[in-house]
Structure 1
Amino acid sequence: MPELTLIAGVARTGAIGDGETIPWYYEEDETQYKERVADHPVVVGRRTHEGMSRIRGTHPVVVTRNPDRYDEEGVTYVSTVADAVDAVAARDERGYVIGGQSVYSMFLPYADRALVSELPEYEVGSRVFPYLGTDWTVTARHAYDTFDVVEYVHDDPRSPPSGE
């Protein structure tokens, strides 16, 4: 199974967005984010995928209820965690889960790591990053000019059920 890493920019309120956009912009955060995910598969929900520009060098694995309804060159559409993990494993030993809210929640039990940009925002959004729980350990804190990236390791990630 490939290593799965949740990666998100999170406001102090837990918000990751408002369902349409991300209401803040930190160039340094965007740069470090794109550098981390470059050349790896990224797991993303359909609405998030449709609302964002493609990140150079990534292969989107898009989670949707109806994968047969979509056909986009260079994109794999799946409907289950198991199929997404298989799609990531077919391309790399590491994949990044990049949102939105329901996809983070769906992959949380199976993720090995999380990289959370703790942003100094107090925005309230309709979309939030899920609570990691007590079986995650902070292993590093990377300080940037206006925010920190906190690295968590999942103490006991589950394997996704086959044929989920």
Structure 2
Amino acid sequence: MISFLWAEDENRLIGKDNQLPWRLPADLKYFKETTMGHPIVMGRKTYESIGKPLPGRTNIVLTRNPSFKVDGCEVLHSKADFLSWAKKTDEEIFVIGGAEIYRLFIDEVDQLYVTKIFEQFEGDEYFPKINWENWQLVSKKPGIKDEKNPYDYEFRKYVRK
């Protein structure tokens, strides 16, 4: 099963200069709790923004660069390579970005985990448009706004209809 996990603002913004445009520790905690123990898939630029393999998860980096190698990560070079790899596991696999990788797997994804932040930020990367008629909201949980998490936000989960 392939799942997407991301946070976005009201305009589908997900990134600025290869970083998150906001500081929301509760979302980072949610990300860690949700993906722990599961394979995660990311593009090279997302990997470089994180800077290291995330512990407790199989880290897969997707890149067209055949010479790209990184300790602690499995490196794949095409959509076909990833789909072949994914068929060998029963685990839920989380695609964690960036925008180009989400676009690449938009037709294969089974579940969506989105942190919706009810603010508008400046940035340069947007989540691809989704036909929401194909998705059913199965859970929605409001986030707690406090001094460390200064925005209104909620955690949503969707399954493909």
> TM-score with structure 2 length normalisation?
0.87
| 1:49 and 2:47 are equivalent in the alignment | yes
Instruction: String of CA shifts for 1:104-154, please: whole Å, max 9, x gaps.
Output: 111111000000000122103210111221311212112221311111111
Kindly tell me the number of residue pairs found equivalent between the two proteins: 152
User: What residue number does 1:9 align with?
Assistant: 7
Distance in 2, Cα, partners of 1:80 & 1:104: 13
1:148 to 140, 146, 154: 154
Q: CA offset at residue 92 of structure 1?
A: 5.0
Task: Tell me if structure 2 keeps the 8 A contact 1:7–1:114.
Answer: yes
Of all paired residues, the percent bearing the same amino acid is 26
How far residue 42 of structure 1 moved from its aligned partner, in angstroms, is 0.7
Q: Which amino acid aligns with 1:150?
A: R
> Matched residues in 2 for 1:88 and 1:25: separation?
32
Please give the alpha-carbon distance, in whole angstroms, between the structure 2 residues aligned to 1:77 and 1:108: 20
Partner amino acid for 2:45?
R
RMSD of aligned residue pairs (Cα, Å): 1.6
Letter aligned with residue 47 of structure 2? H
Q: Is the 8 A contact 1:135 1:154 kept in 2?
A: yes
SS at match of 1:73: coil
Superimposed CA distance per residue, residues 53-112 of structure 1 (whole angstroms, 9 cap, x where no aligned partner): 43221122111112x312222211112223113334445521100000010111111000
Q: Matches of 2:57 and 2:83 in 1, distance apart?
A: 15
Counterpart code for 1:74: G
Q: How does 1:98-137 map to 2 (within 5 A)?
A: 98-133=96-131, 134-137=133-136
Secondary structure at 1:117 match in 2: strand
The code of the aligned residue for 1:56 comes to P
Structure 1 gap segments, 5+ residues each: 156-164
